[in-house]
Chains A and B, each alone.
Chain A
Amino acid sequence: MELVISLAIGIVFASGIWLVLRPRSFQVLSGLMLMSYAVNLFIFVMGRLWVDAAPLTPPGMTPDPAALADPLPQALVLTAIVIGFATTALYLVVMIGSRGLTGTDHVDGKEPEL
């Protein structure tokens, strides 16, 4: 399972890097989004992979660290997702503004001279 997850994260992140280096701002945006998905998964995995383990102690149960998933990365990833969404939305707004003001969606705000 570890191999599958790491390969998946790696492929998503690599695609993100490739897209971020493209000249159109929408590609950059998609790249940033892919990268942030990969990073979110990465944070999640950093609490180790668990199957069938709750991150919380049910009432009345003696806490046993070996039977519980690490709750902290799950909390962190929630924060990271929210912040990532907000900043990506902001980038989208700026992108639209740039498109309207400069008339092109090139990241430099002007078409390269041929």
Chain B
Amino acid sequence: MNLPWLDHLILVPIVLPLLVGAALAPLTQGWHRLKFWLSYASVLGMLATSIALITMTDGGHWQDGMGVYLAANWSAPFGIALLADRLSSVMLLLCAVLALAALHFTRLRWGRIGVHFHTLFQFLLMGINGAFLTHDLFNLFVFFEVMLASSYGLVLHGYNAERIRASMQYIAVNLAAALLFLIGTALIYATTGTLNMADLAARVAVLTGEELALFKVGAAVLALAFLTKGAMWPLGFWLPTTYAAASPPVAVMLVLMTKVGAYIVLRLWLLLFSDAGGAAAGFGQDALLYGGMATIVFGAAGMLSTDTAGRMAGYGAIVSSGTLLAVIGYGQPSLVTAGLYYLIGSTIGVAAFLLLIELIDRIRTPRSAMLALTMEAYAVEDTPDEPVGRGVPAAMAFLSLAFAACALMIAGLPPLSGFVAKFGMFHALLKPMDGAPVPTSGWTLMTLIIVSGLIAVISMMRFGVRTFWANAGAEAPKLHRSEVAPILFLLGLSVVMTVHANSLFGYLDRASADIHRPATYIGRVLTQPSLPGPATAPANSATSNPEAP
């Protein structure tokens, strides 16, 4: 008896990048075209898989829309369970989309400096996908470390003094956060005796007294690790420097990594401390809400204070992270739906902006001197295809229009997806579930979201005016199609998200409903039967049937 082969799809987003990354490692740089296309094929495979997972979870292929995969066929509390539900599938899709854009952007230059770019990139994807799928705390730690270790390498990609300086701090902060992760996990194991998230959620409800207090300490320490990743104030000071220093395609993936932190907080918090959580219910809710608000203030102030585009994008990511955390801490399912829409939209917006920054920088320095130096250091023999002849017409018009679109998305102005997201959040905030009046925290959150949007407009406009209008010596830079296409792709996605906002909201509503029903989830994971092994299977299996002579 075998697992239906479609169920193995849950494992594909983890195994595919692992295998491709390993296969790319021994190839030398002379094969850079092959490396690029293999890497590209792997990302396309992930894209197809995540779309298949979305149709399967949403189309009733699995009971309750949750596909459980028992690694090595160990039943749930003992082995590692992977679970694909609507939320993790849509996060996988977001990851694949961003990876596709980032990878396409590297085709011309970035993928060719540094030997193991594609390998590290694939391992990074493996870590991110694994963190979305796994439902075991220690396995989550392993995937986090896979993700972080490859991101350390990638932040250093295109090695210069600024990147080294930034990554020293980035690595130190994240190593410390990893230690907190371990302490939290160990404390949780000590009090509950399990690491499986479903089993954990079932056991939290019956904890009392000293055990409960210790468990809360463990959960808080664990949350510190995720919130450092998710850049909550005051844990997010590392972020703007790192984002500004990393090469653009890497920075795009870093934007997604902050969202991994928020995703884990959303999932674990709802699982462990929702209303069904017994004596622990609602633990840390205020910390998330007010911490999120403080993060919005910090990010907005940072945006206003900087005039470097890279740092501005970093602070933009902090604002969006803060909004998400506050939305989670507000504790209202309909708001989570809008928050998820906001997560997708803002990630795409900031990612497009980060890619655009490199092209905009060329207005000032026609050819990035830094990059040329690196290419020399790595002795890249053949110069990349000269953009002449295959360049994009009206480069300046493209740059300024794309910049305007990014600004609209980040600031949340109509007509792009940022506006729909904010509108959805206000709608949910103004309509509390039980018809009660809107609490003060709701008004405060709304004010903060509006003010942060306004500040984003001001600082983006200031940057745009300085770059495009008040820059007398501006010359149209040479752009290559492979650099323009990913930006157009991401902006196009934002338009699609706006046009299909209704169906997307419907899907996310179901996703949010899934994660607000921990009981169903616990039942699904813990009752997933393991398959009978060969010893207990009927004896007429194919192994006893020798090949015909």
User: Which A residues form the contact surface with B (CB < 8 A)?
Assistant: 20, 25, 28, 32, 35-36, 39, 42-43, 46-48, 72-73, 76, 79-80, 83-84, 86-88, 90-91, 94-95, 97-98, 101-102, 107-109
Contacts and interface: CB of A to CB of B under 8 A. Distances in A.
Contacts of A90: 149, 152-153, 171
Given A42-B186, A43-B182, A72-B195, 7 more contacts: A76-B185, A90-B153, A91-B171, A91-B175, A97-B156, A98-B164, A107-B168
Interface of B: 138, 141-142, 145, 148-149, 152-153, 156, 159-161, 164-165, 167-169, 171-172, 175-176, 178-179, 182-183, 185-187, 189-190, 195
A88 B80 CA distance: 27
Nearest to A83: B145
Contact of B165 (A32, A72, A109): A109
Given A25-B168, A102-B164, A102-B165, A94 B156 contact: yes
A46 B190 contact: yes
A84 B185 CA distance: 15
A51 B183 CA distance: 23
A97 B182 contact: no
A43 B172 CA distance: 21
A83 B175 CA distance: 10
Contacts of A97: 156, 159, 164
Contacts of B182: 39, 42-43, 80
B179 A102 contact: no
Contact of A39 (B159, B183, B189): B183
B142 A109 contact: no
**4 pairs of A and B residues whose beta carbons are closest in the complex:** A109-B165, A46-B190, A46-B186, A43-B186
Output the residue of B169, B171, B185 with the most chain A CB within 10 A.
B171
B183 A42 contact: yes
A96 B190 CA distance: 39
18 contacts: A28-B172, A32-B176, A39-B179, A43-B185, A46-B189, A46-B190, A47-B190, A76-B186, A76-B189, A87-B148, A87-B175, A90-B152, A90-B153, A91-B168, A94-B171, A102-B164, A102-B165, A107-B172
| Majority-rule SS of A interface residues | helix
A20 B186 CA distance: 22
Given A94-B167, A102-B165, A109-B161, A86 B149 contact: yes
A84 B183 CA distance: 13
A50 B182 CA distance: 21
A60 B168 CA distance: 53
A87 B161 contact: no
B176 A98 contact: no
B180 to A, nearest CB: 9
A73 B175 contact: no
A37 B460 CA distance: 46
Contacts of A94: 152, 156, 164, 167-168, 171
A20 B159 CA distance: 24
A2 to B, nearest CB: 13
A73 B171 contact: no
B171 A87 contact: yes
A91 B179 CA distance: 15
Given A43-B182, A91-B175, A107 B169 contact: yes
A81 to B, nearest CB: 11
A22 to B, nearest CB: 11
A108 B161 CA distance: 11
Nearest to B142: A79
A32 B182 CA distance: 14
A48 B152 CA distance: 35
A35 B168 contact: no
From A25, A39, A86, residue with most partner B Cβ within 10 Å: A39
A14 B23 CA distance: 43
**Interface-central residue, B138, B152, B159, B186, by most chain A CB under 10 Å:** B186
Contacts of A84: 178
A88 to B, nearest CB: 7
Contacts of B156: 94, 97
Nearest to B191: A46
Contacts of B152: 87, 90, 94
A60 B263 CA distance: 46
Contact of B168 (A46, A76, A98): A98
Contacts of A42: 182-183, 186
A46 B191 CA distance: 9
A70 to B, nearest CB: 8
Contacts of B159: 97
Contacts of A43: 182, 185-186
A47 B191 CA distance: 10
Given A32-B176, A79-B138, A90-B149, A72 B189 contact: yes
Among B161, B169, B182, B190, the one with the most A-chain Cβ atoms within 10 Å of its Cβ is B182
Contacts of B183: 39, 42
Contacts of B149: 86-87, 90
B217 to A, nearest CB: 12
Given A73-B186, A97-B159, A108-B165, A91 B172 contact: yes
A20 B176 contact: yes
Contacts of B185: 43, 76
Nearest to B144: A83
A90 B161 CA distance: 17
B172 A20 contact: yes
A10 B176 CA distance: 16
Contacts of B142: 79, 83
- Most chain B beta carbons < 10 A, residue from A72, A79, A83: A83
A109 B245 CA distance: 14
B351 to A, nearest CB: 26
Contacts of A25: 168
Contacts of B168: 25, 91, 94-95, 98, 107, 109
A19 B419 CA distance: 47
Contacts of B172: 20, 28, 32, 91, 107
